[in-house]
Amino acid sequence: MRATKFIMTKREGGEHSPEELASFISGYLAGEIPDYQVAAWLMAVCWRGMTGPETAALTEAMASSGDRIDLSGLPHPVDKHSTGGVGDKTSLVLAPLLAACGATVAKMSGRGLGHTGGTIDKLESIAGFRSSLSDREFLEQARSVGVVIAGQSKELAPADGLFYALRDATATVGSVPLIASSVMSKKLAGGARSIVLDVKVGSGAFMKTLAEARELARTMMAIGAQAGRRMRAVLSAMEEPLGLAIGNALEVREAVTCLQGEGPTDLRALCLTLASQVLAASGIARGEAEIARALDSGLAFERLERWIAAQGGDPTSLANLDLAPDQTLVRAPRAGVLSALDALELGQAVRVLGGGRDAKTDPIDLGVGVLLQAKVGDPVAAGEPVATLYHRGGHGLEEALRSVRRALSVADASAPKPLILELLET
């Protein structure tokens, strides 16, 4: 293929055929097309966009660039993807909950970057937990326990790994067709038949407006539907963090309370909505009240313990996770009602305490974080504690305190904002 002609077609706003996209991807993987030509094409896509059929063909080519996991034969293989938020520990709750409801969750997840956390980091705050599994171990555990979450295999959609590194370095991440094809190539290769997308909207999310989130959700759903997957999407608010805990071990502790039928109401509500959507898509018709019984009866928690043990973790350590030893309180500046808890600022606070990374290879401190004592809409007295910072000997504390103080607003009155903004079906 002539890469310059391909780039020029997109630069002029033209449409690529599926064959052209497939040979561009295979030429890049084979080292025949250099990074600088791919980077030029990525920038042309940012400006010109892609049609629906082009985006679907790009996704297929990326999904076919490596291994595909075969989950056929397993009962109701389902998956969930979140576009990333602050305090978002839903996968930790959802995976055992869905398994307790009769579905199979065999999922690959990522690590945190910037102000957002990642499921694999959270799981690694459990003593002994192994996130690196062979294909055989992954499938065997899916079969025997009904739930397995491992780190993203390099063999799954390898074209996406190469593209993503280049996009990161060339300011070409923010494009709906590129984000949608990146996410969905991994989902298609991952083998689940029913997929629910949790597309976050707001200051703490990639997508700042409802219209942008809807466009991304619709694009990903169309790709999935064309590939024969049953797709649902939930658009959910990410102005304030989800739940009260932000930071890896703190979030695992909160997910455990949710699996024991307790914990923050927003976290429980979002997990129940996501669960009912993906179960309905996969043909398991359960109302939210019935799904909630799996949380309240201990069934989902039991499944969590079996899952953690199967991956080498110590389930008894869930009651006593390793948190950073030092704590500093932040108090309400005046009496009133909490009117904002900016998710982006709070995510940044955890990052500077050492709980998040700037570059993919940075080491992180799994025990640091921020634990909120109130949510937007709650009344507070002057000087009442509203957040506790968990830190290690004051590392990053001054900057984190500044972020937390900027994140907080107290007003005379404020109503809680809706969490679930829209449900979408194909």
Q: Which residues are catalytically annotated?
A: 81, 160, 167, 182, 186
Cα–Cα distance measured from residue 239 to residue 347, given in angstroms and rounded to the nearest whole number: 11
62 binds ligand URA (CB under 6 A): no
163 or 301, CB closer to ligand URA? 163
Beta bridge partners of 410: 338
| Least gap, CB of 411 to ligand URA (angstroms) | 34
Residues 27 and 4 sit within 8 Å (Cβ to Cβ): no
Nearer to ligand URA, 121 or 254 (CB): 121
Q: Which stretch binds ligand URA (CB under 6 A): 33-41, 171-179, 253-261, 363-371?
A: 171-179
Of the two residues 108 and 341, which places its CB atom closer to ligand URA in the complex?
108
349/343 Cα distance (integer angstroms): 10
CB of 388 to ligand URA, least distance (A): 30
Cβ distance to ligand URA smaller for residue 86 or 386:
86
Helix (H, G, I), strand (E, B) or coil at 382: coil
Q: Considering only residues 177-206, where is the footprint of ligand URA by CB under 6 A?
A: 178-179, 182-183
**Nearer residue to ligand URA within complex by CB, 176 or 371:** 176
How many CB atoms sit inside 10 A of residue 341's CB? 26
String of contacts with ligand URA for each residue 356-395, x by CB under 6 A: ----------------------------------------
What letter represents residue 86's amino acid? Answer: V
* Closest separation in Å from C-beta 152 to ligand URA: 9
Q: How many CB atoms are located within 10 Å of the residue 420 CB?
A: 14
Closest distance of CB 164 from ligand URA, Å: 6
Measured CA to CA in angstroms, residue 53 lies from 1, 15, 143, 183 at distances of: 20, 9, 35, 16
Alpha-carbon gap, residue 358 to 352, rounded angstroms? 10
Q: Report CA 315 to chain centroid distance, whole Å.
A: 23
Residue 198's H or E segment, with its range, is strand 194-201
User: Which burial class, exposed, middle or buried, applies to 155 when counting CB atoms under 10 A from its CB (0-12, 13-18, 19+)?
Assistant: middle
Q: Binding residues for ligand URA, how many (CB under 6 A)? A: 6
- Near ligand URA by CB under 6 A, which window of 176-184, 347-355, 383-391, 393-401? 176-184
The one-letter code for the residue type at 296 is D
Nearer to ligand URA, 205 or 370 (CB): 205
* Shortest Å distance, C-beta 183 to ligand URA: 5
Pairing of strands 77-82, 194-201: parallel
Whole-number CA gyration radius for the chain: 22
Query: Distance (Å, rounded) from C-alpha 370 to C-alpha 81?
Result: 24
Sort strands 194-201 and 230-237 into parallel, antiparallel or unpaired: parallel
Stretch that binds ligand URA, among 99-107, 175-183, 309-317, 381-389 (CB under 6 A): 175-183
Residue 236: which H helix or E strand, with range? strand 230-237
Nearest distance from C-beta of residue 318 to ligand URA, angstroms: 28
Cβ proximity to ligand URA, 187 vs 268, nearer residue: 187
Amino acid at 384: E
Q: How far is the CB of 301 from ligand URA (least distance, A)?
A: 30
Distance (Å, whole) CA 176 – CA 199? 13
Residue nearest to ligand URA (CB): 182
128-167 positions binding ligand URA, by CB under 6 A = 164
Where do contacts with ligand URA occur on this chain (CB under 6 A)? 164, 173, 178-179, 182-183
